[in-house]
Chain A
Amino acid sequence: MKALKIFSVLMLVIALSGCSTLTEYTESEQVLLISAVGIDKAANGYTLTAEIVTEGNQQTLLSVTADSIDSLIPNLKKKAGIPLLLSHCGTVFISQDFNISDLSFLLQHLCSLYEFPLSSRLAVTNNCATLLNAKGLSSEPKGYAVLSILKNAKIDSRLFIIGRAHTNTLPFFIATNDYYLLKDSLWIIE
């Protein structure tokens, strides 16, 4: 019986030591919470603009450039210097300059990042960095930029939710307004 008890404790310790959470310990205030990201096409690749929530629920932007989409997030982590919390990223903006292959690759990449939430909304805009820099369409002085824009999207008629994603895919937005309309009117992400 004693040997069984020792064995059980040993097994528990071994099982717990293999726990990935051992290495993922971070205090809540020591991570950068990313609430939205925007990816634009740049001359030499892609630019990622991340909206970070800082102390007092204030937002700040962090931008990185990379020659490929899959290098954007690692570059962002490197630049930030402290752990990023992507799991609360509510919206992914993409530039209207994206073509189908860019978008497919981006979506595949995002889906492969286990820390990235599959419940994020996807929106299309002409320039993500400009949109994220905007202080919102509402007149509220402390408005949360992205959320405010989405909240007022219908009024502005720039962004409309038109569908939900299939299983294991990101829900998606497309713009129906002519100004923001993608070349292909509807994307079904498989």
Chain B
Amino acid sequence: MNFHELLGKKLSGNLDTDLNFLKEIFENDDILRVRRINMTKGQECALLFLDGMVNNNVLNESVVRPILTFDSDIEGENVSRYVTLHILFAAEVSEQTLIDEMLRSMLYGDTLIIFNGDTTALTVNTKGWRTRGISEPSDERVLEGPREGFDEAAMLNMAMLRRKLPTPDLKAEYVRVGRRTDTRTFICYLSSLVNKRALDTLKKELKKIDIDGVLDVNYINELINSNRFSFFKTAGKTERPDIVAAKLLEGRVALIVDGTPVVLTVPYLFGENFQSDDDYYQNYIVAFIGRLMRYICFFLSITLPGIYLALITHHKQLLPTSFFITAADSRRGVPFQSILEALLLILIFEILRETGLRVPQSMGHALSIVGGLVIGQASVEAKIVSAPMLIIVAASGIAGLMVQKLKGAIFYGRIITVVLGNFFGLFGCFAGVTAMLSVVFSLKSYGSDYTAALNNISFQSLKDTVIRAPFYKMLTRPHSLSKNKYRQKRKKKL
């Protein structure tokens, strides 16, 4: 039985009947615990909770003990209201009349109290399930700056975010997604800064979701993202509360989903792919160099194998003679065409990279030795691949690692330029790059232009995209994101 079948149903007010009904719903589920209590003056009630989901101390001290030790008359007809107001010690108690709402709360760690002669039940916040705890996200480590990361519990994540932004301006709208998982989701934003278009789009799209289960934020991202065939990310993901707070301060919307430490932020602009958490926690001059390198490496990573292939197969005259002789010499004896050689090496590099991510950390060094040295050197010596191609693909791969957020786009971009470079030379290679840039410039992320900062180029638009300007120069928020333009007042010179 799922929630849809229980919609609108209410308790009968007869404790035995209601208990039997609830037990029937949880038939064959041995986790359900039922505790029947005879209160004073013949009043009966029952506590229902799921073992492991509740904090037993809270349950005993805030619910069981006060009910058992209560020895006065219950005044008035509404027992549940009286118990809420006069008996329970718990801070958070809700009155529920609909069975599906009662079950939702109970399934999330609350204790359900039903009474004989009352169709209203109480749900008491006794949540006590264990969480992983706050730790630094392994994929988003920083040299300096905060080291806390989100947890799998949405409420804890909300608390962490609230601690960063202790303002009533921070709003968290609660939405449930997933027919069976009933996943708790929070839409967070700063009401005075938020990009209304993105917020409305997100809310509208969330309402449309009709899926069995949502176990991670990526489920939602894929379901609501309008750029389904794009290999460029149009929604940001992070596990760091400081990053989410910074994005909310720029007018973005964050989506916190229960059960995952990853938080979705929208709109997501192209420039964000090149931003690193460290950029904001170290000297801006150093950060600027790093960011510039990321842009350069992105283009190098995509074009390097394609350009090399175009040069050695179509535009040999553009290579220095000595380099061409070396390249041609190393190609002798290689059984594959240059394009196959390039694709093979790209594939091997991707395999090594993926394997490196999946294997235990202790095996990482062994993998790099086997992958980098043994396979690399052996394949050149065995004349399976040529040394210059190996160097070019490796350089391109390493350059690609600089921009982890665009790894998908880099992989596909590299393949496209290699294929076009092989068949059409440099012309094809750059036609491919142009086509990719056209795609990038035509993308939209939740109503905002993906390349908004690059459309109207000015210092203020570039200050946190291509460059990382010092904070005293970052006077405005990104124009395309928030209508509340100024983030700091211009200081008067003394």
Query: Chain A interface (Cβ within 8 Å of chain B)?
Result: 8, 12, 15-16, 19, 21-22, 24-29, 31, 33, 35, 53, 55-57, 85, 87-88, 90, 115, 117
> Which residues of chain A have C-beta atoms less than 8 A from B312's C-beta?
27-28
Cα(A115)–Cα(B317), bound, Å: 8
Interface stretch of the complex, out of B36-44, B242-250, B321-329, B402-410: B321-329
User: Which listed residue (B325, B422, B427, B428) contacts A57, Cβ 8 A?
Assistant: B325
Residues in A with CB closer than 8 Å to B428 are 16, 19, 21
Decide: B331 and A25 in contact? CB cutoff 8 A.
Answer: no
Q: Which residues of A sit under 8 angstroms from B317, Cβ to Cβ?
A: 85, 87-88, 115, 117
Q: Determine whether B431 belongs to the interface, using a CB cutoff of 8 Å to chain A.
A: yes
When chains A and B are docked, how far (Å) is the Cα of A167 from the Cα of B315? 23
Smallest Cβ distance from A36 to chain B, in angstroms? 11
A131 smallest CB distance to B (angstroms): 20
CA distance A88 to B315 in the complex (A): 11
Q: How far is the CA of A12 from the CA of B424 in the complex (A)?
A: 12
B314 located at the interface, meaning its Cβ lies under 8 Å from any Cβ of chain A in the complex: yes
Report yes or no: A55 in contact with B329, Cβ–Cβ below 8 A. yes
Q: Does B313 contact A (CB under 8 A)?
A: yes
Task: Apart from A28-B312, A117-B317, list 19 A-B contacts with CB within 8 A.
Answer: A16-B428, A16-B431, A19-B424, A21-B310, A21-B315, A22-B424, A24-B425, A25-B313, A25-B423, A28-B313, A28-B324, A28-B338, A29-B328, A29-B329, A33-B325, A53-B325, A56-B329, A57-B329, A87-B317
* Set of chain A residues within 8 Å of B423, measured between Cβ atoms: 16, 21-22, 25
Interface centre among A12, A21, A22 (most CB of B within 10 A): A21
Least distance between A147 CB and chain B CB atoms (Å) = 10
Give 4 nearest A-B pairs by CB, closest first.
A87-B317, A21-B425, A28-B328, A29-B331
Whether a CB of chain A sits under 8 angstroms from the CB of B437 is: no
* In the bound complex, CA of A35 to CA of B435 (Å): 38
Q: How far is B431's CA from A15's CA once the two chains are assembled, in angstroms? A: 10
- Contact present for B431 and A33 (CB under 8 Å): no
Would you call A21 and B328 a contact (CB within 8 A)?
no
Q: Considering the chains assembled together, what is the distance between the CA atoms of A68 and B289 in angstroms?
A: 60
Q: Which residues of A contact B315 (CB under 8 A)?
A: 21
B337 at the interface (CB under 8 A from A): yes
Task: Please determine whether A35 and B424 come into contact, CB atoms closer than 8 angstroms.
Answer: no
- Interchain CA distance A31-B334 in the complex, whole Å: 15
Nearest Cβ on chain B to A126's Cβ, whole angstroms: 27
CB proximity of B339 to chain A, nearest CB, Å: 10
Does the CB pair A33–B424 fall under 8 Å? Answer: no
Nearest CB on A from B31, distance (A) = 52
Q: Specify which of A8, A27, A90, A115 is in contact with B338 (CB 8 Å cutoff).
A: A27
Q: Decide: B435 and A12 in contact? CB cutoff 8 A.
A: yes
Listed by A's residue number, 6 A-B pairs whose Cβ atoms lie within 8 Å are: A25-B423, A26-B313, A28-B331, A31-B316, A31-B328, A87-B316
Contacts A19-B428, A21-B424 hold; do A90 and B321 have CB atoms under 8 A apart?
yes
**From A19, A55, A90, contact of B332 by CB (8 A):** A55
The number of chain B residues touching the other chain, given as a range, is 20 to 34
- Selected from B316, B332, B427, the residue in CB contact (under 8 A) with A85 is B316
B residues at A contact (CB < 8 Å): 310, 312-317, 321, 324-325, 327-329, 331-332, 334, 337-338, 420, 422-428, 431, 435, 438
Contact check, A19 vs B425: say whether CB atoms are below 8 A apart: yes
* Bound-state Cα–Cα, A31 to B428, Å: 22
Q: How far is the CB of A110 from chain B (nearest CB, A)?
A: 14
Chain A residue nearest in CB terms to B327: A28
Q: Give the residues in chain A near B321, CB-CB below 8 Å.
A: 33, 35, 88, 90
Q: Which residue of B lies closest to A85 (CB)?
A: B316
Q: Give the CA-CA distance A15 to B329 in the complex, in Å.
A: 34
Instruction: Please name the residue on chain A nearest to B388 by beta carbon.
Output: A28
Q: Which of B324, B331, B438 contacts A88 (CB 8 A)?
A: B324
CB neighbours (8 Å) of A33 from chain B are 321, 324-325, 328
Q: Which of B327, B331, B334, B424 has the most CB of A within 10 A?
A: B424
Smallest distance from the beta carbon of A45 to chain B beta carbons, Å?
29
Residue of A nearest to B425 (CB): A21
A29 contact set on B, CB distance < 8 A: 328-329, 331-332, 334
Residue numbers in B under 8 Å from A22 (CB-CB) = 423-424
Least CB distance, B346 to chain A, in whole angstroms: 18
Question: Separation in Å of the A26 CB from the closest CB of chain B?
Answer: 7
Taken together as a complex, chains A and B put the C-alpha atoms of A57 and B329 apart, in Å, by 8
B420 proximity list for chain A (CB < 8 A): 16
Beyond A15-B431, A16-B431, whether A27 also contacts B424 by CB under 8 A is no
B344 CB to closest chain A CB (Å) equals 15
Contact in complex: A25, B435 (CB < 8 Å): no
Are A88 and B316 within 8 A (Cβ)? Answer: yes
Q: Which B residues lie within 8 Å of A21 (CB)?
A: 310, 314-315, 423-428
A76 CB to closest chain B CB (Å) equals 17
Which A residues are CB-close (under 8 A) to B334? 29
Contact (Cβ within 8 A) A16 B424: yes
B-side contacts of A57, CB under 8 Å: 325, 329
Complex CA gap A117/B445 in Å reads 50
Contacts of A88 in B (CB 8 A): 316-317, 321, 324
Residues of B within 8 A of A24 (CB): 314, 425
In-complex Cβ contact of A19 among B316, B331, B422, B427 (8 A): B427
Residue of B nearest to A56 (CB): B329
Cβ contacts under 8 Å, A115 to chain B: 317
Which residues of B lie under 8 Å from residue A35 when comparing CB positions?
321
Q: When the two chains form their complex, are residues A27 and B331 in contact, meaning their CB atoms are under 8 A apart?
A: yes
Q: Which of chain B's residues has its CB closest to A12's CB? A: B431
Q: A19-B427, A55-B329 are in contact. Are A28 and B316 (CB under 8 A)?
A: yes
Q: A90 CB to closest chain B CB, in angstroms?
A: 7
Residues of A within 8 A of B422 (CB): 25
The smallest beta-carbon distance between B433 and chain A, in angstroms, is 12
Give min CB distance, A167 to chain B, whole Å.
19
Q: Is there contact, CB below 8 Å, between B427 and A16?
A: yes
CA distance A29 to B312 in the complex (A): 9
- Bound complex: CA A52 to CA B329 (Å): 13
List residues of chain A with CB within 8 A of the CB of B314.
21, 24-25
**Chain B residue at minimal CB-CB distance from A116:** B317
